[in-house]
Amino acid sequence: MVRRTATSLAPMLRFGLRTVLRATVMRSFIRVPFVLLLVVAAFSWRSVFRRGVTQAPLVDEDASLLDAEDASLFDAEALNATLYNLTDAEAGGVELQQEVLDLMGGRLESVYAAGGQSHIISIWRSMRGAGSRPGLLARLRFPARPEHPDRGRLFQEFRWRLSDWFLDSRGLQPEVMSELIERIKRPIDRHYGYPHTGRPYATCAVVGNSGVLLKSAHGRLIDGHDLVIRLNNARTAGYQQHVGSKTTISFINSSILHSCAMRLGCYCNPYGHFVPIVVYICQPAHFLDYLICNSTHKSPLLVTDGGFDTLCIRIVKYYSLKRFVEDTGKHPMSWGKFHDEKLFHYSSGMQAVMLGLGICKRVNVFGFGKSVDANHNYHTNQTAELNVLDYAAEYDFYRDLVERPQAIPYLRITKIKVPPVVFYH
């Protein structure tokens, strides 16, 4: 009952806080302290609801599940509850909250260089007391364009976007998957001149960047899909036989967008100006890059919802914890000793697949997986995987997605009908 009540009240609290935040930000910058107070409240409301949720028993982190004296603590049901509780715990949440507060309360500095050809925007930490620390929070240098927003409008919208994203990322929102049709598909359809039916695309291809793509010739098969999603600006030129040439959506992380923002017109998309971009935010300061790029981009530049990001990280962390227990026999509380909890994240490919689940009737996935005789990426010489990702856990998720989607944790609460998913190897 506690969970149900918390879930039902959460959207109302988020809506109320967002409405007040937006109104406050839009009226005046003088009221920034009040805005910050509301953001803190937004971060804290969820912990109030969680007090009624049963927590996992306190145990020795180094204890082995196999050697536990009280085996009843570690039966399947109790273990699963522990996995959920540890997944829900947000490592780095305090640091994220402080980063958002600093950015929203920071001082924006705007200067021009190179005879007005370059624009430099910096956000400095505001000095609000004896304990405050000076420092640069964010800086972006980019070619100046007349389309770029002025200083006042830029920082106003930066705070608005950042507060919206932060509020949406606080806790799970069951509706995030069903909202992808409206949030992502509708603007994509409008851009391409398609009639918006409110229904998913018939067939979608999510094309990863693994070197295993070069072992097959799926190019024509990929191009035959209604929608083709490509990841992190992997080029297709010279690889069309293996990866195809059609691109409907370029799916990137905001670190890539940051590098794009420093180029003229924010252009670094190898698929052409006409291809829309969907980006997920890695660092809150990257909303600055988004606003600069969005002012000149010739096609839709869409940011994933913070609640969608939270859903993805919960799913991957759950599978990572579960695999850790199965592989080591240790209690899941030891997981943090082997993973950087604050930097732990999902891959771009995982979230692109999740996007496909929400906007497609059938999802076919290419270029996922690895081989001892293939590079990590087909278009580079990179061979090592990023240590902040747990690809093995994501493969477990993909396996369940194909074989038993109804068993996937957290995805169940979205109540969507999971479409058929096929992984091509």
Q: What pLDDT digit, counting tens, does each position of 186-206 carry? A: 999 999 999 989 999 999 999
Strand 301-303 and strand 249-253: the pairing is unpaired
* Residues 272 and 391 both lie in one domain: yes
Establish if 84 belongs to a structural domain: no
- CA atoms of 168 and 4, how far apart (whole Å): 18
Low-confidence residues of the chain: pLDDT under 70: 1-74, 127-134, 374, 376, 379, 381-388
* Residues 136 and 248 both lie in one domain: no
* Residues 221 and 358 both lie in one domain: yes
* Residues 120 and 235 both lie in one domain: no
* Residues 34 and 149 both lie in one domain: yes
Establish if 377 belongs to a structural domain: yes
**3-state SS assignment for residue 22:** helix
* Residues 143 and 7 both lie in one domain: yes
Residue 91, CA distances (Å) to 32, 56, 97, 241, 313 in order: 27, 16, 11, 43, 11
Which pLDDT value is given to residue 18? 58
* Residues 136 and 216 both lie in one domain: no
Establish if 334 belongs to a structural domain: no
Domain containing residue 130 = 1-52+89-171
Establish if 416 belongs to a structural domain: yes
**C-beta of residue 278 within 8 angstroms of C-beta of residue 360:** no
- H or E element at residue 302: strand 301-303
* Residues 247 and 151 both lie in one domain: no
Tokens of 30: 């003088």
Which pLDDT value is given to residue 355? 98
Q: What CATH number has the domain bearing residue 284?
A: 3.90.1480.20
For 382, other C-beta atoms within 10 Å of its C-beta total 13
**C-beta of residue 396 within 8 angstroms of C-beta of residue 421:** no
Cα angle for residues 87, 401, 175 (degrees, 5° grid): 60
* Residues 113 and 204 both lie in one domain: no
**Number of folded domains that form the chain:** 2
Establish if 419 belongs to a structural domain: yes
- CA atoms of 224 and 364, how far apart (whole Å): 11
**C-beta of residue 370 within 8 angstroms of C-beta of residue 386:** no
Residue 397, CA distances (Å) to 257, 300, 373 in order: 27, 30, 24
* Residues 393 and 246 both lie in one domain: yes
Establish if 348 belongs to a structural domain: yes
Establish if 69 belongs to a structural domain: no
Establish if 81 belongs to a structural domain: no
* Residues 390 and 307 both lie in one domain: yes
Domain end position, chosen among 171, 206, 235 = 171
In 79-135, the DSSP E strands lie at: 107-113, 118-124
* Residues 33 and 94 both lie in one domain: yes
Domain end position, chosen among 108, 140, 171 = 171
